[in-house]
A and B are shown apart, each in its own frame.
Chain A
Amino acid sequence: MKSKLKAAFLVLAFSGISTMAVAQRDYQSYEQLTSRLQQLTRRYSTLSSLNTVGKTATGKEVWLLTLGRENAANKPAIVIAAGVEGTQLATTELVMQMAEQMLQAAVLQDSVRELLQSKTFYIFPNLSLDATEQYHEKLRWERVANAQPIDDDRDGRMFEDPFEDLNKDGLITMMRVKNKSGIYRPSKEDPRIMVPADVTKGEKGEYLLYTEGIDNDKDGKWNEDPEGGVVFNRNFSFDYPNFQPGAGEHPMSERETKAFADFMFDAKNVYAVFVFGPANTLTEPLKYNQEMASARIINGLTENDAAVNSTISTLYNTTTQLKDAPRVAPSAGDVLQWAYYHYGRFSFSTPGWWVPKLPPEKESTESIEDAADSTVPEDLNFLRWAQANDFIGTFVPWKPVQHPDFPGQQVEVGGFAPYVKHTPPIHLLEPIADKHFRFFSAFAKKMPNLRIGNVQTEKVEGGHTRITAEVFNQGALPTHSEMGDKTKWVQKVKVILKLSDSQKIISGNKIHLSKALAGGEKFQVSWVVEGNGYIQVEASSPTAGKQSKEVYLR
Chain B
Amino acid sequence: MKKRIVVAALLASGLLFPRSEQTWAQTPASVFKPAGLPQNPKVQVSWNKYYDYEGITEICAQLAKAHPDLVKLETIGDSYEGRRIWALTITDFKTGDSDRKPAMYLDGYIHANQVQGAEFALYTAWYLAENFSNDQFIKELLQQKTFYILPTINPDARNHLMHPGKTVYSQRNGFIPLDDDGDGLVDEDQPEDINKDGFITLMRRKSSKGKYIVDPKNPLRLIPAYPGQNGEYEVLGYEGFDTDGDGSVNEDPPGQYDPNRDWGWNWQPEYVQSGAYKYPFSLPESRAVKEFVMLHPNIAGAQSYHYNNGIDMIGPGVGESQTSRSGIDQQVYELLVKQADGVIPDFTYMEVYNGLLSTYSGKLNWFQGSRGIFTFSNELLAPYLQVERKLASGADQEIQQEEIDKMLLFQEAYVEWVPFEHPTFGAIEIGGYNKNHLLVHPSFLLAEDAHRNMALTLYQAYQLPQLVVQDLTTKKLPNGLTEVTATIANTRALPTHSAHDQQQSIERPDFISLKDTTVVSGVFLENAAQNKWKEQKGNPARLEVPNIPGMSQIKVRWRVMANKPNLTVEVDSRKGGVISRRF
Query: Interface residues, chain A, CB within 8 Å of chain B?
Result: 151, 153-157, 216-219, 237, 240, 242-243, 249-253, 261, 265, 268, 296-298, 341-342, 486-492, 494, 505, 509-513, 540, 542
Contacts and interface: CB of A to CB of B under 8 A. Distances in A.
B554 to A, nearest CB: 17
Nearest to B538: A218
A154 to B, nearest CB: 4
Contacts of A253: 264, 281
B367 to A, nearest CB: 12
Interface in B510-528: 511
Contact of A151 (B271, B272, B278, B508): B508
B184 A491 contact: yes
Given A151-B508, A250-B264, A298-B271, 6 more contacts: A154-B505, A243-B504, A492-B182, A494-B184, A510-B246, A511-B246
* Band of interface residues on B: 35 or more
25 contacts: A154-B505, A155-B509, A217-B539, A218-B538, A237-B269, A237-B279, A242-B265, A242-B369, A242-B504, A243-B504, A249-B264, A251-B267, A251-B280, A253-B264, A253-B281, A296-B320, A488-B182, A491-B179, A492-B182, A492-B183, A511-B245, A511-B246, A513-B181, A513-B183, A513-B246
Interface string B481-520: 0000000000000000000000011111101000000000
Contact of A342 (B246, B269, B508): B269
A342 B270 CA distance: 9
Interface in B253-307: 264-265, 267-272, 278-282, 290, 294
A251 B266 CA distance: 10
Nearest to A480: B182
* 4 interchain residue pairs of minimum CB distance: A250-B264, A156-B508, A510-B245, A218-B538
Contact of A511 (B180, B183, B294, B504): B183
B285 to A, nearest CB: 16
B497 to A, nearest CB: 11
A243 B267 contact: no
Contacts of B265: 242, 250
Given A218-B538, A488-B182, A511 B506 contact: no
Contacts of A509: 245-247
Contacts of B246: 509-513
The residue among A157, A261, A298, A511 with the most chain B CB atoms within 10 A of its own CB is A511
Contacts, number: 109
A12 B320 CA distance: 59
Contacts of B279: 237, 251-252, 261, 342
A219 B537 CA distance: 7
A128 B415 CA distance: 59
Contacts of B179: 488, 491
Contacts of B544: 155-156
A66 to B, nearest CB: 21
Contacts of A540: 184
The residue among A154, A219, A298, A542 with the most chain B CB atoms within 10 A of its own CB is A154
A156 B245 contact: no
B505 A153 contact: yes
Contacts of B290: 250
B322 interface: yes
A135 to B, nearest CB: 30
B75 interface: no
A219 B538 contact: yes
Contact of A252 (B247, B270, B280, B370): B280
Contacts of B178: 488
B505 A249 contact: no
B183 A491 contact: yes
Nearest to A154: B505
A156 B509 contact: yes
Nearest to B242: A509
B135 interface: no
A449 B184 CA distance: 18
Contacts of A218: 537-538
Nearest to B189: A511
A500 B183 CA distance: 21
B505 A250 contact: no
Contact of A505 (B245, B506, B511): B245
A513 B370 contact: no
Nearest to A484: B182
The residue among B178, B281, B506, B507 with the most chain A CB atoms within 10 A of its own CB is B281
Contacts of B511: 156
B471 interface: no
B370 A296 contact: no
A488 B180 contact: yes
Nearest to B263: A250
Contacts of A510: 244-246
A249 B370 contact: yes
